[in-house]
Amino acid sequence: MARIALVTGGMGGLGEAICIKLAALGYQVVTTYSPSNTSANDWLVSMERQGYNFRAYPCDVADYDSAQECVARIRQEIGAIDVLINNAGITRDMSFKKMQKADWDAVMRTDLDSVFNMTKPVCDDMVERGWGRIINISSVNGQKGAFGQTNYSAAKAGMHGFTKALALEVARKAVTVNTVSPGYIGTKMVMAIPREVLDSKIIPQIPMARLGQPEEVAGLIAYLASDEAAFVTGANIAINGGQHIY
């Protein structure tokens, strides 16, 4: 029976690449989307035309009750989740001087609280079955910081603190918990940055002199989700082209 992988925020960008990679490896892939997303069905149809039979559920990952209800529906309609990839996230970039409480709260709830909200209802099942993979998608800016991202950097750094602590709690039950910290990846969000900014300010910071590709990150995540990665837990794996080495 195929293992079930849940990817939060899987419609587009890195999340879509993760869904496609896992499906190609034989996982039954489920994703979440924001209840306000009116194009979710269009995405599912588009993916089906490409041969991918994904399932998708509306879920406000920033809301604990919504996350609980979403996971309960997946468990009832599809089965228990074997692999959880906490990928959903947002940015509200601005200098700390200009940042308002609402900007801080929105990012912390969506990027950090969501990790608790989505992990809580699946972790016990994994422990009881004696197998599970939890992969938290952080960022290079959670490791090194970034101007205008006190909220985002704090949330992404907090994700790895969560990873390390939970990894210790569930390791004996063959459940691994890891963080992946991508650098600048060629998603639609990054490619929306003006070309002159990419060429003059971002790419020169990357020793490999290019943006990463979503498929490269998805390949790393697929490894961490596999049986071969059973001895990797509590790790924060950087995939940033050498932009930040620590």
Grouping H, G, I as helix, E, B as strand and the rest as coil, residue 27 is coil
Residues 6+ apart with CB under 8 A from 185: 13, 14, 211, 212, 213, 214, 216, 217
Name the domain count of the chain. 1
Residue 194: pLDDT above 90? no
Task: For residue 51, tell me if it sits in a domain.
Answer: yes
Residue 134: closest CA among 168, 178, 103, 96: 178
Residue 2: CB atoms within 10 A of its CB come to 12
Distance CA 214, CA 78 (A): 27
CATH of the domain at 136: 3.40.50.720
Task: For residue 79, tell me if it sits in a domain.
Answer: yes
Model's pTM, two decimal places? 0.96
Sign of CA dihedral 79, 72, 132, 91: positive
Task: For residue 159, tell me if it sits in a domain.
Answer: yes
pLDDT at residue 227, as a whole number: 97
Task: For residue 58, tell me if it sits in a domain.
Answer: yes
31 within 8 A of 56, measured Cβ to Cβ: yes
* Main-chain dihedrals φ then ψ at residue 87, nearest 5 degrees: -110, -25
Task: For residue 241, tell me if it sits in a domain.
Answer: no
Residue 82: closest CA among 25, 7, 21: 7
Task: For residue 22, tell me if it sits in a domain.
Answer: yes
74 within 8 A of 57, measured Cβ to Cβ: yes
Structure confidence by residue, pLDDT tens digits, 119-169: 999 999 999 999 999 999 999 999 999 999 999 999 999 999 999 999 999
Can you tell me which residue has the tokens 């998608």? Answer: 137
Q: Domain range spanning residue 211?
A: 4-236
Distance CA 98, CA 83 (A): 38
Residue 189: pLDDT above 80? no
- pLDDT, average across residues 184-189: 88
Task: For residue 246, tell me if it sits in a domain.
Answer: no
Q: Which of 64, 152, 184, 223 is catalytic?
A: 152
Task: For residue 243, tell me if it sits in a domain.
Answer: no
Q: Is 52 a catalytic residue?
A: no
Structure confidence by residue, pLDDT tens digits, 32-61: 999 999 999 999 999 999 999 999 999 999
pLDDT at residue 12, as a whole number: 84
Structure confidence by residue, pLDDT tens digits, 72-97: 999 999 999 999 999 999 999 999 99
